[in-house]
Amino acid sequence: MSLSRRTFLAGLAAYPLVMNTKLQAASTPTVLIIGAGIAGLAAARALTAQGIKVTLIEGRERIGGRIHTSHVWPNLPMDLGASWIHGQKQNPITALANAAQAKRVVTSYDSSELYIDVRLKQLGVKGTNEASIEKLVTQALNKAANLDEDISVKAAVERVLTQPLTPAYQAQLNFYLNSQYEQEYSGATHELSAQTFEDNEEFSGADVLFPQGYEQIPNYLAQGLDIQLGKVVSKIAYSETGVKVTTQDQVYQADYAIITVPLGVLKRKTIQFNPPLPANKQAAIQRLGMGLLNKAYLRFNKVFWPKDIDWLEYLSPDAGRWVEWVSFAKIGAPVLLGFHAADRAREVENWSDQALVADAMQALKAMFGNAIPQPVGAQITRWAQDPFAYGSYSFNAVGSTNQDRQALARKSGRLYWAGEATHSEYAGTVHGAYLSGVRAAKVIVKQI
């Protein structure tokens, strides 16, 4: 994608309220939007600006979807879902953050420190061996790109390994694959497509966090909108003349609807569509992957780690275990955020909070010594168990391509589609979800 194209998209999306003059129609068109996450809110703001009557139907008792700022610690808002604007230059979320006057703090992957488990030090490991492993994985993916059939990233790497791996090299390889792929795309390397997993675009510039919480963005967008909370959709009937949406206690009717529920919900088929969705859309839902990236916030009475470092990395023999940590010391918070991705995340979701915190402390003691203090609080996410998400964000699984995302975005009668999984250029991101909502609104406006 050229820079001029990106600039156009960002400019368009950042100012949904400044569209063309309002529609002049004999009767006001009506639109139901299923889901009050960032995609649904973006679509609602754009349509409302056109004089279209919009009602958002949200199953949760809050807005934001997979943007969820916790206030369990009143003086320290913590984002349990999305945290960053990834690439702030020309990013539509940056324009929204400016409009909402939301404070941001830059974090950098270059600001990092590596901690090596003593078990690996005893094997002579002194670092991640990143240059050598990156060369190996790049070679593997280049070869996989020329295969007639898609394979996983893991299978691609295994095809180029010529001899059994030492425990040290296996740990370094696991670290690289987890930190570079599983933490980034939320899918396990045995699920990620070797041919299409990175078929996306990025905005340039720094990554930034919201010290007062990402919720400032959906809260800004939600102003003045008709949002019905706690309405769990079970059925959606649609035709060439209108739509009917059934919840646990009410039936809504409108001329059009925009479906913004996450891919994980579509995969679970918790919503019954009548008539059934087109075969190509059902196939796209099945082929695309819904990944998992969970968080564990640990709050301490004091900062015992380097205050000037953003990312603390842990290289151990245990694949995927507490590989990445983010420090909140630079915003004055004695908080560490640990991540689990993909298979490891699904495994530990079944643990109690107590067991997870104990395991985290075991890892942190391996990094910083046994004298570190115990946490005074913890907040832990389990996105795969959330009935309104069933995962964190989508990824290109083996056999899937961005054509599946385009099929998912295609309208079905008077049903239109939005959400990060429907955006083939910025999938898995807040800005992708936002852009998809604005896109769906524009398509409806053209239809009226």
Check pLDDT > 70 for residue 335.
yes
CA distance 122 to 136: 25
CATH number for the domain running over 3-66+214-290+401-447: 3.50.50.60
CA distance 271 to 63: 19
User: 109-205+292-385 architecture in CATH?
Assistant: Alpha-Beta Complex (3.90)
Which H, E and C letters describe 55-90, residue by residue?
EEECCCCCCECCCCEECCCCCCCEECCCCEECCCCC
Instruction: Determine the average pLDDT of the residues in 288-306.
Output: 98
Instruction: Determine the average pLDDT of the residues in 192-208.
Output: 92
Peptide bond into 275 cis (omega under 30): yes
Instruction: Determine the average pLDDT of the residues in 162-173.
Output: 95
What's the token pair of residue 266?
């579509």
8 Å CB contact between 62 and 40: no
- pLDDT band at 13; cut points 50, 70, 90: very low
Check pLDDT > 90 for residue 302.
yes
pLDDT score, position 151: 98
Give the start-to-end residue ranges of the domains of the chain. Answer: 3-66+214-290+401-447, 109-205+292-385
pTM greater than the 0.75 cutoff: yes
β partners of residue 330: none
8 Å CB contact between 93 and 431: yes
Higher pLDDT, 422 or 20: 422
CA distance 428 to 422: 9
What's the token pair of residue 164?
């059994």
Check pLDDT > 80 for residue 265.
yes
8 Å CB contact between 329 and 307: yes
Which amino acid does the sequence have at 443? V
- pLDDT band at 200; cut points 50, 70, 90: confident
- pLDDT band at 3; cut points 50, 70, 90: very low
Give the closest residue to 417 by CA, choosing from 428, 425, 409, 406: 409
- Crossing angle of helices 430-447 and 92-99, rounded to 10°: 90
